[in-house]
Structure 1
Amino acid sequence: MPSKQFQVLILNQISDLGLQRLPAGRYEVGKSVASPDAILVRSADMHSMQVPASVQAIARAGAGTNNIPVKAMSARGVPVFNAPGANANAVKELVLAGMLMAARNLPAAQRFVDGLDPAAHDLDEHVESGKKQFAGFELAGQTLGVIGLGKVGCLVAHAAIQLGMNVLGFDPEITIDAAWSLPSQVKRAGSVSEVLKRSQLVTLHVPLLDATRHLVNADNLPTMKPGAVLLNFSREGVVDDAAVLRALEAGPLARYVCDFPHGHILRHPKVIALPHLGASTREAEDNCAVMVAEQLRDFLEHGHIANAVNFPSVAMARESAFRVAIANANVPNMVGQISTTMAQAGLNIHNMVNKSRGEMAYTLVDVDSAVGESVLAALRDIEGVLAVRYLPV
């Protein structure tokens, strides 16, 4: 059987290094493919988009998936991939830049210099007299609170320690891998409130979920130390901006540094707002594109799932030329019904794996002979089955 050619629709400019992982001949990649098997996206908002019925996977060349209708895709049995950690170094470096800008009042100092008259005879005097208003503080010896100890949070913590800072971290759902990569000097806090109370600078690195919306708010902002700096390079909704503005005006907050400029905070003298630059480096764009392209290819060709935000991670070595991939609701007796359907068709199961994640489950089955369309149709007819793919080689 000739190998299937996959069509991949691109909604944004994607790094060529990533696209090279989808070889021509096996993949048709472009912005106007007719019946896409998959979609590659960066920032395009897909919530109002009619996602074609042919789409079997969506890959986001970045970490956040707020621009993708994940719940609707889950109901269709479509995994949504992302690239966690691929842009972590870029974000870490921007957080460090934000800390330095806030600590040394660099944006205001730059505006002061831009307003000087280069032809003034007393220019040096203006510089010397004006610089006093921009006196800041050094990072060494300060306590940095890190809320969220994933890849970015761990990198920020490590870099802060190298700068001579004390680091206090909090993450109730820290993974084993993150725990192993966390420097031993990081002290563990028991709550968000503890981090805010004990830190001179606080940086946020959590996803935007119902549980994290307005994680920093009117109740806990007033507990921060006088002159504190809050940095948000995570997601806009993690912070209550109205509460931040009040804390900037009445205390204790001295600076708010974020990557999400909008009307409420724009041009406030104590706000340093950047135009969503977190992953805007050549290296980060390349890393993200390569990661999701490889994940997408492994899924389309072999049914493997890695770094999907709505599916369990599943991989199984090929031991047969005939593979079926099944996305289904996580309900009892699903594996039994799949096995029975194949047995009734005279198919011998060579190998099988089933994993679940919340309400979603995913099954890979290798059988010893070709699978007919009638068997695939019977599998699709099982109540709770969301999608069935046949992946022969």
Structure 2
Amino acid sequence: MPTIEPVTPQPHLHAFAGFGIELEYMIVDRETLAVAPMADRLLALQAGEIVNEVVKDKLAWSNELVLHVVELKTNGPADSLRGLDGAFAEDVREINAQLSPMGAMLLPTAMHPFFDPAAETRLWPHGQNEIYAAYDRIFACQGHGWSNLQSMHINLPFFDDEEFRRLHAAIRLVLPLIPALSSASPLVEGEWSGWMDSRLEFYRDNQRRIPEIAGLVVPEPVASIRDYSERILQPIYRAIGPYDPEGILADDWLNSRGAIARFERQTIEIRIIDIQECPTADLAVAEAVLALVRRLYESDETLEAGQALSTEALSSQLFSAAREGSRAAFDYEAWRSLLTSKAVEDGRALWLELLADLDVSAPAAETLSTMLERRTLAEALRQRLGEQPARAAVVDCYRELAECLDQNRLFGS
């Protein structure tokens, strides 16, 4: 969802000269883990009144569509991802300390395991909420695809038209791989959904009333900023027009593909990464994704070949990974051959092959090795809870995940 009060804009940067990270967390009851709609109370503790955002040194905290979610984000672009997990972990602990007297805490992962959106959704009701009200009027936001999908967003800057074209092309090739590393939403209303990344399934479907908005989630290839506007943005604005005569939603963030241009920031935002159990895991995933994007960005031959690839086929690979997690078999050879020349049996093997040559920090490499050894967090949860998870067991397991978040450690470590 768009942030109503964005962090102060920064000067335009060249590609990979800065990084914006956004992490969304649920606020829940410390005992029952039921959602606790108190993001407004949390933000008011900082500002002395209800606000949409507060700046806390390196990071900012802001509201989201629903009252039980708070977003932590870099206060403008960070120079490097390395060590940034510590800043997020510090703010998580501060928030937990402030929520504790209210009987609440933060919960990680990309979907609440037994949240009932029809009964429990409470939208942000405060100032400047006209965007959220418009979304609710058109799409009815009492559903998992609106009120129960926590993700990490990564913003990458571009300086000019050429950097935009290359960055968009590179990100398009990386998106199908991401759920094989980051899937963390296997439970919906207390039951296994059949997807390791259920959040991505809901993300794809929550605006089906106007299919132009999300497209196939993997974006179409574009040749320039003007081409992007003509092929992606203008069809979206035409399609929403009859439902939004005041033009409240006619902005670039209305686009719900898996990566979107944010022209007021001059960035491309990657939006499909499930929140993990702790900032160390989130930032390790971010390092892996961005290192691969950068490798592809720097190869003229790869980008040219990638622009010719079928968006439908790339989308099929993306949703195969969303269903199967690290066990997804990537069989679109024209795409996979741009990533590696070696035969790989599944998503985990492909990520292991890629990471052997990618430029990630030593701490991130160690974290990623542990994550790939256990497979995705969704698969680890499935192994822990078994085929028929009892509610009490789910509560215990997700309480452990809350501890992982507060202590900034991996699940099962």
TM-score computed with the length of structure 1 as normaliser: 0.23
TM-score norm. by structure 2 comes to 0.22
Q: Which has the higher helix share?
A: 2
**Highest RCO, 1 vs 2 (Cα 8 Å, sep ≥ 6):** 2
Greater Rg, structure 1 or structure 2?
1
Structure with the higher strand share, 1 or 2 = 1
